[in-house]
Structure 1
Amino acid sequence: MKKRESFNSQWGFILACIGSAVGMGNIWMFPTRVSLYGGGSFLIPYCIFVILIGFTGVIGEMCLGRGTRSGPIDAFGTACETKGNRKLGEILGWIPVLGALAMAIGYTVVMGWILKYMVGTFTGSTLSAENIDGFTESFSTMASAGGNNLWQVLALCICVVILMFGVGSGIEKANKIMMPIFFVLFVILGIYVAFQPGSSAGYQYIFRIDPAALSDPNTWIFALGQAFFSLSVAGNGTLIYGSYLSDKEDIPASAARVGFFDTLAALLAALVIIPAMATTGAQLDQGGPGLLFIFLPHLIRSMPGGWLIAILFFTAVFLAGMTSLMNLYEAPVATVQEKTGLGRKASCAIIAGIGMIVSLLIQGIVSDWMDVLSIYICPLGAGLAGIMFFWVFGRSYVESQVNKGRETPFTKMFYPVCKYIYVPVCFLVLILGIALGGIG
C-alpha cells in the first residue's frame, strides 16, 4: 500500500487548517453581521458557538480523518463496515466529496474576481471608477456570464499548481507563507484605519453591548451560522487534512489554535472594515460581494494613500481566499487518487479540468450555486461525519482517537457533548438555513 502523504510539522498543519477556515466569510460577512446585530452583542454568541463547534466538530473531523487515514468515502465506509454495510457508508461519503468539489468550483469564480481586483490595484483599474455607480457597473460586468474568463482560469491554475506539489511541499509551504502575510497585512490596515478621523465611532460600535440585540433570536441564529461555516466543518476538507496527521499530533490543542486564529482573522476584518466605514458615516448593512467589490473600493478610493491601502487589502483577501480554495479542491483530488490509483499530478489535472469547465459555465449564477451548497450540502456533510464518528464508531473508538498524541486524557464530556449536542446542531443549521434562506 502506498504511503499516505503527511504534513511536515505541527504548525504546518495548523496553518493549513487556519487557511482553510479563513476565507470570504471572515472578510465580507463577519463585519456585516457584527454591524447588523449589535456589535458586541453578536460577538458574545459567536464566541460561544466557535468554542462549541471548535471543540466538537473540528476535533471530530480531524480525528475521523486521522483514524481512518482516508477521505470521506472510505472513512464513512469504514464506519458503516462495523455495522456490516460498508457500501452505504461509501455512498453517503460521496455527499461531502461532491459538495467540496461544487463549493470549490463556485469559489473559483469568486477567486477570479479577487485576482482581477488585486492585479488592478497595481495597474490602477480597480479604483478607476468615479462614483458608486461606476464601481457597481464594473462589478456587474465582471460577474456576468463570461465576464471574467481569463482571471478565473488563472486563479484556478495557481491553486492547482500548488496542489500538484503535494501536502508537505505544496499545501503546507503555501500556507506557511500566505497565512502569516495575511495577518500582517490586516494588522497594518487596522493600524492605518485607527488613525483616520472618525474611526473611533466604529470601535465603539463593535464593542458595545445592546441588550435588545442580545435577546433577539436572529442574533444567535446568525452567530451560529457564522461560526459553523467559518470553521469549515462539512465532512470534507478538515477530515482530509486530519488524514495527513501523525498519531503524535494533539488534535484538541490544534483545534483550539485553529478556532483562535480564525476568530482573530474575523475580528481583524471587522476592526478594519467597520471603523473605515465609520470614517465616512456610512452604515455597514451590505455584505457579500457587494461589500468587497463595490462599497469598499469606493471607500478606499477616497482615503489618503488609497492606492496603497487597496494593494494591501486585496492582496490579503487573495491570500485568504487561495488557502480556502486549496482546501476545497484537496478533498476531490485525494478522492481521485484513492479511487483510481492515479498519481497526484494526474488527479489534480482531472479535477482542474472539471473545475475549469463548470466554473466557466456558472459565472452568471454563482450566487445561487453557493447558496444551495451552503444551505443544504455543507451542514448535511458535517452532520453525516458527526453521525459516522460519534454514533456509528461509538464511544470507545472516539475516545481512543481523540486521546492519541495527548499527555493527559481529553475531557470525558467530549463524547456526550458531541453526540447529543453537536450532531443535532448540524441538522439545526440545515433546518434553519432552509427556513431562512441561509444563515452562513
Structure 2
Amino acid sequence: MKDRDQWNSKVGFLLAAIGSAVGLGNIWRFPYVAATNGGGAFLLPYFFAIITAGIPILILEYTMGKTFRGGAPVTWARMNRRFEWLGWFQVMIAFIIAVYYFAIVVWVVSYIGFSFTQAWGADPSSFFVEYLGLTDSALNLGGIQTSLIIPFVIIWAIAAFIMYKGVSKGIEKACKICLPILFVLMLVLVIRGVTLPGAVDGLEYMFKPDWNALKDPSVWVAAYGQIFFSLSIAFAIMLAYSSYLPKKTDVVNSAFITATANHGFELFAGIGVFSIMGYMAMMQGVPVSEVAGAGIGLAFMTFPTAISALPALNALFGICFFGALFTAGITSLISILQAVVSGFHDKFEMSHKKAVTVVMVPAFLLSFLFITGAGMNILDIVDAFINNIGIASAGVIEVILVTRFFNPEKLRQEANEFSNFSIGRWWVFSLRIVTTVVLGIMLFLNTKDYLYNGYGEYASADVNVFGWGTILFVIVIADALTTMKGKDGYRDLDKIAYKEVN
C-alpha cells in the first residue's frame, strides 16, 4: 500500500481530535441536557461517565488506530477478519451523519448573514419555518428551497477544498485556524452573557443541584449518551484520526487532553448559553425553564430572540454566536468525512483524492434531501435514530468484541508502551463491565421506546422510512462493503508501509 499521510505534529492531531469532539452539540445540547437532568447534580454521573466510558474508549480507539494503521474497517479486520463488518457499520453511520450535518452548517451560514440586520424579525420561530419552507411531513418533500442553494454550494466547496488537501495539509491546517477562532468567539459570548441582568437565574437553572435526580436511571443513561454524542467515539472518527499518528505517540495522555478540552468547552459554552437564557427569561417575565431549549430550536429560534433583545451590539453578538457554530460545525464535519474516506482509501488502496471523490459525490447527492421543505423533519428523525440506535449499537458491539473476543491486555500494553503514565487493569474492567452494561441498557431503552411509541409526533410512515429505514440502509451497505474484495494484504499489518515520524 502507498504511504499513508500523517499529522505534522502531536499538537496538530490533538487540535483535530478536539475539533471533531467540539461540535454543534457542545453548544446547544449539553447545557439543556444538564439542566433537565438534575442541574449541578448531573455533573456527578457526567464525570463518572467520562472516567468509565469516555476516556477508556478514547484510549481504546487511539490505541487501535495507531497500532493497526487503518481506518475503522481495516483496523477491525486486522484485529480479526470477522470484525471488519463493524468497521463498515461505523463508517456508514459517519457517512449518514455527514450528509445531514451539511444542512445544519448551511443554516448556520445563512444566519450569519441574517445577524447583520436581525432579519428574523419579531418572530424568529415563524421566520425559521418560512426560511426552510417546512412541510407537514418528512415524506412531503416540497421541493428544493432555492434560498438554501447558495450557502449549500459554499459549504460543499469549503469541505471539498479541505478534504482534497489531505490530512496534514487540509484537516490539520483547518483545525489550527478554526479552533482559536472558536475559542475567541465563545469567550466573547460568555463575557457578554455573564454581564447581562438575569444571568444568575440562568446559571442557577443549569447548575442548581437536584440530588433526587440521581435516583433516576434515565439521568445516568443521559450522561453516557452525552459522552458518546460529544466525544465522537464509536463511529470511526477517532480510529481514523489516530491511524495517522506516529508509532511513538503517547495515546493515554492524548486521550485525557482531548476529553478534558472537550468537556471543559462544554461547561464553558453552557455558562454563556444559560446566562443569555436567564436574561431572556427576565425580559419576558417568565421562568428560565420556559425559554430554555435544546438542539435546533435553541440555535435558530430561541437565540435569535435573545440576540434581538440585547441592549446593544446585537449584530456583533449574532455574528459571534453563529460564527462559533460555523467553526465548530466545520471542524466536526471534516472529521466525519475523513472517517469515511479513510475506510475506502485503506481497503481499496485508492489515492486520497479518489477516495474523497467516492465519498463526496454520493454524499452531495443525498444531502439535497435536507434542503427540501421536508429537510428539518427528515434530519430530526435520522439524527435521533442514527445516534440513539446506530451509535449506541456500534459502541456496545465494539466493547464486547474487544473485551470478549480479543485480548484487551495486549491493547493495554500497547497503550502504555510510549505513555508518560500507564493505565491499569481498571481500564479493562470499565470497558468490559461498566461501559457494556450502561450502553446495553441505553440501547434497549431507546429501541423499546421507538418500537412502542414511535418518535416525536411524526407519522409511523415517516419514522419507518427515515428512522428504521436509515438503520437498515447502514446495515445493508456495511454488509456489501465487507464482502467486496480489497487489495491484497489490507488485513496484514506487516505488509503495510508507512512513514515513521520520530
Q: Does 1:98 align with 2:92?
A: yes
Q: Is the 8 A contact 1:38 1:205 kept in 2?
A: no
Q: Is the 8 A contact 2:253 2:420 kept in 1?
A: no
Per the alignment, residue 358 of structure 1 pairs with 366
Per the alignment, residue 299 of structure 2 pairs with 292
Deviation at 1:69, TM superposition (A): 0.4
C-alpha separation in 2, matches of 1:279 and 1:313: 16
Alignment of 1:170-209 (within 5 A): 170-209=170-209
Deviation at 1:133, TM superposition (A): 4.7
C-alpha separation in 2, matches of 1:272 and 1:211: 24
Give secondary structure in 1 for the equivalent of 2:38.
coil
Per the alignment, residue 317 of structure 1 pairs with 325
Deviation at 1:339, TM superposition (A): 3.0
Deviation at 1:155, TM superposition (A): 1.2
C-alpha separation in 2, matches of 1:394 and 1:160: 39
Q: Is the 8 A contact 1:403 1:410 kept in 2?
A: yes
Report the more deviating stretch, 130-139 or 346-355. 130-139
Per the alignment, residue 484 of structure 2 pairs with none
Alignment of 1:52-201 (within 5 A): 52-80=52-80, 86=81, 88-122=82-116, 124=117, 126-141=118-133, 146-147=144-145, 148-201=148-201
Report the more deviating stretch, 145-154 or 135-144. 135-144
Change (3 A) 1:61 1:131: same
Give secondary structure in 1 for the equivalent of 2:103.
helix
Change (3 A) 1:215 1:423: closer
C-alpha separation in 2, matches of 1:221 and 1:289: 22
Report the more deviating stretch, 324-333 or 337-346. 337-346
Per the alignment, residue 417 of structure 2 pairs with 404
Deviations 1:228-253 (A, max 9, x none): 21111124001111111112211111
C-alpha separation in 1, matches of 2:343 and 2:153: 23
C-alpha separation in 1, matches of 2:446 and 2:266: 21
Deviations 1:391-421 (A, max 9, x none): 3330342122211312443223222222222
| Identical amino acids, percent of aligned pairs | 30
C-alpha separation in 1, matches of 2:350 and 2:368: 26
Deviations 1:48-87 (A, max 9, x none): 212222321111111111111011111121222xxxxx2x
Deviation at 1:26, TM superposition (A): 1.0
Deviations 1:29-64 (A, max 9, x none): 112112222320222211221222232111111111
Alignment of 1:221-300 (within 5 A): 221-281=221-281, 282-283=288-289, 284-300=291-307
Deviation at 1:140, TM superposition (A): 4.1
C-alpha separation in 2, matches of 1:436 and 1:11: 42
Report the more deviating stretch, 307-316 or 367-376. 367-376
4+ runs deviating over 4 angstroms: 142-145
C-alpha separation in 2, matches of 1:422 and 1:137: 40
Change (3 A) 1:139 1:290: farther
Deviation at 1:16, TM superposition (A): 0.9
Per the alignment, residue 40 of structure 1 pairs with 40
Report the more deviating stretch, 19-28 or 152-161. 152-161
Change (3 A) 1:71 1:159: same
Match of 1:329 among 322, 337, 341: 337
TM-score (norm 1): 0.92
Q: Does 1:344 align with 2:352?
A: yes
Structure 1: give runs of 5+ residues left out of the alignment: 81-85
Give secondary structure in 1 for the equivalent of 2:133.
helix
C-alpha separation in 2, matches of 1:26 and 1:238: 17
Deviation at 1:310, TM superposition (A): 0.4
Per the alignment, residue 432 of structure 2 pairs with 419
C-alpha separation in 2, matches of 1:199 and 1:49: 29
Deviation at 1:142, TM superposition (A): 6.9
Deviation at 1:389, TM superposition (A): 3.1
C-alpha separation in 2, matches of 1:145 and 1:18: 37
C-alpha separation in 2, matches of 1:73 and 1:436: 31
Structure 2: give runs of 5+ residues left out of the alignment: 136-141, 282-287, 456-502
Per the alignment, residue 83 of structure 1 pairs with none
TM-score (norm 2): 0.81
Q: Does 1:301 align with 2:308?
A: yes
Report the more deviating stretch, 230-239 or 43-52. 43-52
Report the more deviating stretch, 358-367 or 103-112. 358-367
C-alpha separation in 2, matches of 1:36 and 1:145: 37
C-alpha separation in 1, matches of 2:220 and 2:400: 24
Deviation at 1:427, TM superposition (A): 2.8
Give secondary structure in 1 for the equivalent of 2:29.
helix
Deviations 1:166-188 (A, max 9, x none): 11111111111111211221111
Give secondary structure in 2 for the equivalent of 1:393.
coil
Give secondary structure in 2 for the equivalent of 1:280.
helix
Per the alignment, residue 22 of structure 2 pairs with 22
